[in-house]
Amino acid sequence: MRGFDLDQNGIISYVALGDSFTEGMDDPYPDSGETPNGRYRGWADRLAEHLADNVAEVRYANLAVRGKLIRQIVADQVPRAMELRPDLITICAGGNDIIRPGTDPDEIAEIFRRTIAKLSETGATIVVFTGMDTGFQPVMRHLRGKIATYNMHLRAIADEYGCLVVDLWSMKPLQDHRAWSWDRLHLSPEGHRRLSLRACEVLGLPVDADWREPWPPEAPRDWRMARQDDLHWAREFLVPWIGRRLTGRSSGDGVRPKRPNLERLR
């Protein structure tokens, strides 16, 4: 499928669906702070901004909420997207399911397929995202095969329904620790910036930067400092994450979508 058709004098409506990845954690706006309920920017907001640079008006909604599983995205976000009937839909779903023990990527992919079939009824251009290659992350490396299986399904679904694909697996610059926030699960502001540029490339939007740009050289880290970082991460992220899994809680409990309606950008 070719890129997204743009009318520079026209109006584009865009709806983003997903979890924390699409909500924008951990890329806060300068005036929001890094509080749990702060407003995040993220690659989807940045993509909407790029769209606004190229057309007369962009109306943008972001329904994504952190921590959501694919069934929750289908139940809570897809009906609203169908109701809004936008020109462009981006959806990244299933990641929180895949990282949980015992989940079946074939089953998750079938849910995703039915979701894309439904969203296709809107006539919107749909952009889907593959999972990241976690081979560079020691804690997440064991999920690599499971993610690869899911990715193969996603590509087949994209082919079936004519979706555009942002291939995160092949984005080698995101395999640098500086592309990730302190929790090692969400992108850093620079990671989100690069991903937005990649999404623009897939859509055929002109940009003035390259997501492939090499990272600047970095001084070697002392092993003691690296060990302290590992301990801090385990204490501040891993232990609370395990606690939420054991008690059935989610980081998205009580969190509302940051842009529930199609609103003019700028």
Q: Which two tokens stand for residue 215?
A: 């990272």
| Residues 31-52: tens digit of each pLDDT | 655 444 468 999 999 999 999 9
The answer as to whether 3 is a domain residue is: no
Residues of the chain above pLDDT 90, percent: 67
What distances in angstroms separate CA 132 from CA 18, 79, 216, 219, 263, one per listed residue? 15, 27, 22, 26, 31
Instruction: For residue 234, give the DSSP letter.
Output: I
- pLDDT confidence bin for 80, thresholds 50/70/90: very high
Residues of the chain above pLDDT 70, percent: 83
The answer as to whether 15 is a domain residue is: yes
Contact 126, 89 (CB under 8 A): yes
The answer as to whether 6 is a domain residue is: no
- pLDDT confidence bin for 139, thresholds 50/70/90: confident
| Residues 189-240: tens digit of each pLDDT | 999 999 999 999 999 999 999 999 999 998 776 657 666 666 666 666 666 6
The answer as to whether 182 is a domain residue is: yes
pLDDT, position 254: 73
The answer as to whether 27 is a domain residue is: yes
The answer as to whether 145 is a domain residue is: yes
The answer as to whether 55 is a domain residue is: yes
Mean per-residue pLDDT of the chain: 88
Q: What is the DSSP string of 75-137?
A: HHTHHHHHHH--SEEEEE-SHHHHTSTT--HHHHHHHHHHHHHHHGGGT-EEEEEPPP-GGG-
Q: Which region among 2-6, 92-96, 140-144, 244-248 has the lowest average model confidence (pLDDT)?
A: 244-248
User: Which of 12-21, 135-144, 182-191, 248-257 has maximum average pLDDT?
Assistant: 12-21
The answer as to whether 1 is a domain residue is: no
Domain CATH code at residue 74: 3.40.50.1110
pLDDT, position 236: 67
Which residues, 6+ apart, have CB-to-CB distance to 208 below 8 Å?
none
Q: How far apart are CA 35 and CA 95, in angstroms?
A: 23
Range of the domain at 96: 11-264
Which residues, 6+ apart, have CB-to-CB distance to 12 below 8 Å?
6, 51, 55, 57, 58, 59, 87, 88
For the residues 92-98, what does the mean pLDDT come to?
A: 95
pLDDT, position 35: 45
Provide the number of structural domains found in the chain: 1
